[in-house]
């Protein structure tokens, strides 16, 4: 009788579930442990009032240019996913501009003095770079503020980049590596000039912002979490097991190369034998699971890899247009983004209502992380009323969702710590990391799925 191989996946987000899906297609037994009571992770949807209100972890679309991923999503959701074009703006210097901020915005909509200063300082920055290359100077390590000045020019960095970056990450840009590249900065001034005059991007490897500009966007009709929920259904249909509300507490390494995964849930303790372990959970948490324990230096490096937390406050109002676009980015307010959820899909709440999604980033040590929905409403409402977005008497209900480890923070010195952790994981037999949180990298949901499929195929080949 053939010894059946089993893989245990830590984390039931889109990466972990897609890994499990492909493994089952390849005949490998798989079990998934998810700490929350629902699947999807950051790509999940919280359902309140019996599913009447569908709350994502921030409004986002599904974007892909990979035919295999499109095929799988279409197979899963069929007509339950709609297609859109991107619609976003940023409120800066008292005016709404297209987002991402482009050369066209700067040249046509900034005050003349700011437009000239932006172009001149950008040109000077490019001249300095060209001279440095001609002289053979080696590029030095840049912090995010320096990268902004090189990419945007010092003026645009001062009036836009630094304020937005520091408001979002809740720290000075000097503390961040130039590798950070959040959504707000992945399109630099030169690329936006090319988009302005060329009209399209033809490179296969597009940045997130470029992908959102030129690729169709998809959104499931009952929340982004429908994708993960549908993948989870497929996993169980194929014979895989998913344990929700199950927190992994230890990872024992046996002499025969196998693992024993210990976990706990409401039913009690759970012990799973595994021929291979895949982790999608935060690296600091993962490094504390090993038995025998990981070296203290590795645990310390993992603890130096931080994650920014996210709070989304949903304010239920009457069914009216709340924003002119799907979402708007802000500087200098408690929140960094607002989303008009009926522009994503009207089925996310009852027909007579709409929801305003208010996104706030923070650290878990910040007081705002512990604030209630009502306290956050009081924090944000004066700004919302001043901008005539909603008034107090329009508020019908408020809901709150939180993600403790939403965004990997690329501190200025993060690379050495990350390399230490990745080297250690790479030295362990039959253990792999996948996903945005698990790999500590910025990737979209489709890229998570693509990497998960590739990993599952490599695991199946190794185990067989």
**Domain locations along the chain:** 6-44+224-303+411-463, 45-85+216-221+307-408, 102-197
CA count, 13 A, side-chain hemisphere, 293? 8
Mean pLDDT over 331-336 rounds to: 94
Whether the link from the prior residue into 100 is cis, omega within 30° of 0, is yes
**pLDDT score at 182:** 47
Does domain 6-44+224-303+411-463 fall under CATH 3.40.50.2300? My reply is: no
For the beta carbon of residue 374, count every other beta carbon within 10 angstroms.
11
**What percent of the chain has a predicted confidence (pLDDT) above 90?**
71
Give the model's confidence band at 63: pLDDT under 50 very low, under 70 low, under 90 confident, else very high.
confident
pLDDT reading at 183 higher than 70: no
Give the model's confidence band at 197: pLDDT under 50 very low, under 70 low, under 90 confident, else very high.
very low
pLDDT tens digits, one per residue of 239-288: 999 999 999 999 999 878 899 999 999 999 999 999 999 999 999 999 99
pLDDT tens digits, one per residue of 402-450: 999 999 999 999 999 999 999 999 999 999 999 999 999 988 899 999 9
Domain 6-44+224-303+411-463 identical in fold to domain 45-85+216-221+307-408: no
- The residues near 41 (Cβ < 8 Å, ≥ 6 apart) are 11, 12, 13, 14, 15, 16, 34, 228, 280, 437
CA count, 13 A, side-chain hemisphere, 241? 11
Distances (CA, A) of 307 to 56, 68, 303, 437: 19, 31, 10, 9
The CATH number assigned to the domain with range 45-85+216-221+307-408 reads 3.90.660.20
**pLDDT score at 94:** 83
């Amino acid at each position: 009788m053939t010894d059946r191989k089993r893989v245990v996946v830590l984390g039931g987000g889109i990466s972990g579930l897609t890994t499990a899906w492909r493994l089952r297609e390849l005949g490998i037994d798989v079990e998934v442990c998810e700490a929350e009571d629902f699947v999807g992770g950051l790509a999940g949807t919280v359902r309140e009032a019996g599913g009447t209100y569908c709350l994502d972890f921030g409004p986002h679309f599904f974007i892909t240019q990979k035919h295999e991923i499109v095929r799988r999503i279409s197979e899963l959701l069929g007509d339950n996913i709609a297609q859109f074009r991107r619609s976003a703006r940023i409120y800066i210097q008292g005016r709404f501009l297209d987002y991402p901020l482009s050369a066209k915005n700067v040249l046509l909509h900034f005050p003349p003095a700011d437009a000239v200063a932006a172009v001149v300082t950008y040109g000077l920055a490019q001249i300095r770079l060209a001279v440095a290359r001609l002289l053979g100077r080696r590029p030095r390590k840049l912090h995010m503020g320096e990268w902004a000045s090189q990419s945007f020019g010092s003026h645009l960095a001062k009036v836009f980049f630094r304020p937005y970056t520091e408001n979002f990450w809740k720290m000075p840009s000097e503390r961040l590596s130039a590798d950070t590249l959040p959504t707000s900065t992945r399109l630099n001034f030169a690329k936006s000039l090319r988009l302005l005059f060329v009209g399209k991007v033809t490179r296969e490897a597009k940045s997130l912002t470029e992908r959102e500009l030129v690729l169709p966007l998809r959104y499931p009709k009952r929340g982004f979490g429908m994708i993960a929920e549908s993948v989870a259904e497929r996993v169980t249909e194929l014979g895989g097991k998913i344990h929700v509300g199950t927190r992994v507490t230890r990872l024992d390494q046996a002499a025969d190369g196998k693992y024993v995964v210990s976990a706990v849930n409401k039913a009690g303790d759970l012990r799973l034998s595994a021929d291979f372990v895949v982790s999608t959970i935060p690296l600091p948490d993962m490094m504390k699971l090993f038995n025998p324990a990981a070296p203290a230096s590795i645990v310390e490096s993992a603890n130096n890899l931080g994650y920014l937390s996210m709070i989304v406050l949903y304010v239920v109002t009457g069914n009216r247009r709340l924003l002119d676009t799907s979402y708007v980015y802000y500087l200098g307010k408690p929140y960094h983004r607002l989303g008009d959820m009926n522009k994503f899909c009207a089925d996310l709440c009852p027909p007579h209502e709409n929801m305003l999604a208010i996104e706030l980033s923070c650290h878990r040590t910040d007081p705002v992380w512990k604030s209630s929905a009502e306290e956050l409403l009081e924090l944000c409402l004066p700004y919302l009323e001043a901008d005539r977005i909603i008034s107090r008497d329009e508020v019908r209900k408020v809901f709150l969702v939180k993600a403790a480890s939403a965004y990997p923070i690329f501190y200025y010195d993060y690379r050495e710590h990350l390399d230490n952790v990745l080297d250690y994981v790479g030295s362990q037999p039959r253990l792999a990391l996948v996903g945005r949180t698990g790999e500590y990298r910025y990737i979209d949901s489709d890229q998570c799925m693509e990497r998960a499929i590739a990993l599952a195929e490599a695991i199946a080949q190794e185990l067989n």
